[in-house]
Structure 1
Amino acid sequence: MKEKAAISVMGCGWLGLPLARRFAQLGYRVKGSTTTPEKLDNLRQEGIDPYLIDLANASENQQALRDFLLAEVLILNIPPKLRSDGGESYLQQMRLLLTFLRASPVSRVLFVSSTSVYQDLNRAVSEEDVFYTEERDPTNALLLAENMFRDSEDWVCTVVRFGGLVGGSRQPGRFMAGKQNLPNGDAPVNLIHLDDCLNILQRIVEQEKWGEVYNACADGHPSRRDFYREATRALGLEPPEFADMEETKFKLISSQKLKDDLSYVFSHPNPMAFF
């Protein structure tokens, strides 16, 4: 029987923690990183080897980072904070991580990305449509980071571009309750439930689908107006109001490649049933 790979999950937050827990329960040797000292005991209790790693202050924990990367698979789940400096600090952290990664035994990287890398093309969007972002927004930090890890000859990298993340503690109705004059009420939403995120990442590792790029969004794409009104009502909150607009800018993310390659059927295909 083939021995299960050692997996390091960088970023054990809303998605990373339940993902690391799942792999540990499946018998994988799992390491998990956090930037919060208080979370170390929680990771340990879940059967995850805990590491305190903050790439923004990596000079303070270089040995911890080296030890953390003693694995065969790295699942990289660090959402960029783009509003402060356009993503430059995020890219600096990714370049630093690459330096340590090249000196590690990691041979497969699973990069958790986002469908925000796509332009609003007012149509269905597949993985190849990232060409328009490369052309129109060549400094897009998340896409640059994806390419950093995909372009290496030292490992194979699969990128998963998730839609908006919903489920668990993320209840979208809270963010929109009572807001007025919101734009693009007729635009389709591109969302995915936490359960499907976990199932998809597990399947990629188990089926060894490396060297790929996948979009991952629920099959259904209700309008922003319908979805967020229902999401707030489900929480007993005041529904938002959307402005009437002459033109709606949108993208409708297609996950067909993922469904075909992984033989995947979404557990939560209809966002209107998320609540």
Structure 2
Amino acid sequence: MDKNISICGCGWLGLALAKSLVSDGYCVYGSKQNLDEVVGLKEYGIHGVQLQLPLIDHSNNNLSNQIGHDNNDKYTKLNAFFSSDVLFINLPPRRKPNSAQQFKHNVMQVSEQAKLHCIKKVIFISTTSVYADCHGEITEDTPTKPNTDSGQAHVWLENELRQQWQDNLVVLRLSGLIGPDRHPAKHIVKRYLSSQEALDNGLTPVNLIHQHDIICAIQSILQHWPERKVLHLSAHSHPTRADYYQAMAQHLGLTQPEFVSNGENNKWINAEQSYQALRLTLKYGDLMAFKPYE
């Protein structure tokens, strides 16, 4: 079992993953862009590394030249970060206009450094938005059909990384993320209150996955590198938007949003093949059975 793990992007998901892996005895390197946040990783037993993307010199693959010859400590940490057994790439694209190209460039820079330093395996966090224009049941074998710059960028990166890493790459396509301090019900209610109009797509099924179950899936991948290299992570249940967000708003003590039925998409993510491959049982498989932030 690979024991040295590097997590590129210690945000909401990456930090929770890093903490869990440290508690399981892994040696974990975690990157942040902000130096103060890097220092804060130490209290969790994580080897913090400042990684600012894009790298300064786009044409130079030598890390010591990228960050300056006078910064030996930063070079040593970055060198260790890019020399682990498994690299977890968790870099969400920015929401600014025309940011997809920069997102692709940043991910590929990280991948190229990992290849240069002989990292063995890569786990890339992708998204089920690569199926945006698909309908009905979506399995791991469904052809992608993105309709946004972000979705198209993820498909492009999946293909480029596959060429670079072959079977040493696992792609995790995540549904909408929920868990501690993150629940879309608050955002939905805010939209409803600001518009004072019923929200669209009330009968559209939701596709969500809890942070806890994502971490368990990644732990399973690290213990037994799966034969299936493209995996879905989505809860078993798919209640409608109206049913789910009204119930969750009630749990939170918020105004229940109203919905209308129009422009429906009946897409639902079937992740059963992935869970069989990972021998994984979800804790939060029934979305209606637990409260927000649980």
Residue 131 of structure 1: how far off its partner (Å): 4.1
* Distance in 1 of aligned mates of 2:146 and 2:41: 37
- Provide TM-score, normalisation by structure 2: 0.85
Alignment of 1:82-161 (within 5 A): 82-85=95-98, 87-133=100-146, 140-153=152-165, 156-161=168-173
Q: Is the 8 A contact 2:167 2:229 kept in 1?
A: no
- 2:177 is equivalent to residue 165 of structure 1: yes
SS at the partner of 1:15? helix
Change beyond 3 A, Cα 1:198–1:138? closer
Determine the structure 1 residue equivalent to 2:46.
48
Determine the structure 2 residue equivalent to 1:272.
288
* Distance in 2 of aligned mates of 1:250 and 1:42: 43
4+ runs deviating over 6 angstroms = 136-139
Determine the structure 1 residue equivalent to 2:251.
234
* Distance in 1 of aligned mates of 2:101 and 2:149: 15
Change beyond 3 A, Cα 1:41–1:132? closer
Query: Which is further off, 63-72 or 102-111?
Result: 63-72
Q: Is the 8 A contact 2:203 2:261 kept in 1?
A: no
Residue 248 of structure 1: how far off its partner (Å): 1.1
Change beyond 3 A, Cα 1:223–1:39? same
Change beyond 3 A, Cα 1:43–1:210? farther
* Distance in 2 of aligned mates of 1:155 and 1:55: 26
Query: Which is further off, 139-148 or 194-203?
Result: 139-148
Residue 154 of structure 1: how far off its partner (Å): 7.3
- 2:259 is equivalent to residue 248 of structure 1: no
In structure 2, the gaps of 5 or more residues are: 58-65, 69-74
Determine the structure 2 residue equivalent to 1:260.
276
1:8 alignment partner AA: S
1:210-240 CA distances to partner (integer Å, 9 max, x unpaired)? Answer: 6610011000000011111112121111121
2:162 alignment partner AA: R
1:126-149 CA distances to partner (integer Å, 9 max, x unpaired)? Answer: 122134449x99980011112221
Alignment of 1:62-101 (within 5 A): 63=75, 65-85=78-98, 87-101=100-114
* Distance in 1 of aligned mates of 2:221 and 2:112: 25
Determine the structure 1 residue equivalent to 2:11.
13
- Provide TM-score, normalisation by structure 1: 0.90
Residue 102 of structure 1: how far off its partner (Å): 2.0
1:266 alignment partner AA: L
Residue 85 of structure 1: how far off its partner (Å): 0.7
Q: Percent identity?
A: 29
Q: Is the 8 A contact 1:53 1:61 kept in 2?
A: no
The CA RMSD measured in Å over matched residues stands at 2.4
1:141 alignment partner AA: A
Change beyond 3 A, Cα 1:210–1:87? farther
1:34-72 CA distances to partner (integer Å, 9 max, x unpaired)? Answer: 112222232111111000112135446483544421111
Residues paired across the two proteins, number = 271
* Distance in 2 of aligned mates of 1:96 and 1:137: 19
Change beyond 3 A, Cα 1:55–1:137? closer
1:198 to 200, 209, 215: 215
Q: Is the 8 A contact 1:70 1:104 kept in 2?
A: yes
Change beyond 3 A, Cα 1:256–1:104? same
2:231 alignment partner AA: Y
1:268 alignment partner AA: Y
